[in-house]
Amino acid sequence: MIRALRKKLWIYNHGNKRIESGSLASQLLGILYPENKKTVAELCNDTKKNVKRTLQKLKKRHLVTQNTQDWTYSLTDLGIWFAISHKLGVSFVELCALACACCVQQRYASSGKIGFYMRSTFEGIFKEYYSKRYIELVFSSLISKGFAAKYVKKTLRIYPKTCEDLMVTYGEQFRRLESWLDELQENELDVFSKILDGLEIVVQ
């Protein structure tokens, strides 16, 4: 039952939706970032490839949406966040931690204080999807990639200048991602309820 439950949980965990850097999917996200709208024909012309199948896959994964009035494709919030993660060379889960840490630090800095992002806070969001060890590796990766300084083991602090530059470029998107993560945590019980309803026969 636990294995079946975790398999269902992956559906709600966008961190497990991987897009290879340099792939056609990654290229399409880059072309559409942040708010470009293009038809299939325009995207085929831009990439010199047939993009129909890839666009359908991206749409199914909620990374792009199609306007039924002019049939153009554009990025969803999730698609924008994935495009940013590719630009920064981090995974989506690493971007979540980076965005939250930057937002926390900016709020503290506005009142003249030094802010740290607690790993326990991040674990509270993803505890049902990832092990504590995996989340620890996410924080360590941001340090090794040069975004954060190593302070206390269970906290994350982005270099002040790096945080400032990131918030200037991606501040609005980081705040939206932080809000989305808050909603993800608030809706956790509803997610589990839907999953358990679908596993009713298995549970019995």
Is the pLDDT confidence value at 202 over 60? no
Q: Are residues 109 and 176 in the same domain?
A: yes
Question: Domain of 142?
Answer: 91-192
Least confident of 4-8, 40-44, 111-115, 200-204: 200-204
Q: Are residues 59 and 105 in the same domain?
A: no
Q: Which of 188, 90, 186, 196 is nearest to 145 (CA)?
A: 90
Indicate whether 181 belongs to any domain: yes
Residue-wise pLDDT tens digits, 139-163: 999 999 999 987 677 899 999 999 9
Instruction: Report how far apart the first and last C-alpha atoms of the chain are (Å, whole number).
Output: 10
Mean pLDDT over residues 39-47, rounded? 97
Q: Are residues 98 and 75 in the same domain?
A: no
Q: Between β-strands 155-158 and 73-75, what pairing exists: parallel, antiparallel or unpaired? A: unpaired
Number of alpha helices (DSSP H) and beta strands (DSSP E) in the chain: 11, 5
Encode burial over 59-80: b for 16+ CB neighbours within 10 A, e otherwise: eebebbebeeeeebbbbeebbb
Q: Which of 133, 100, 132, 131 is nearest to 117 (CA)?
A: 100
Is the pLDDT confidence value at 200 over 60? no
- Provide CB contacts within 8 A for 71, sequence distance 6+: 39, 40
Are 166 and 158 in contact by the 8 Å Cβ rule? The answer is yes
pTM, two decimal places: 0.86
Q: Are residues 183 and 117 in the same domain?
A: yes
Average pLDDT, the chain: 86
Are 78 and 16 in contact by the 8 Å Cβ rule? The answer is no
Q: Are residues 106 and 69 in the same domain?
A: no
Q: Are residues 59 and 107 in the same domain?
A: no
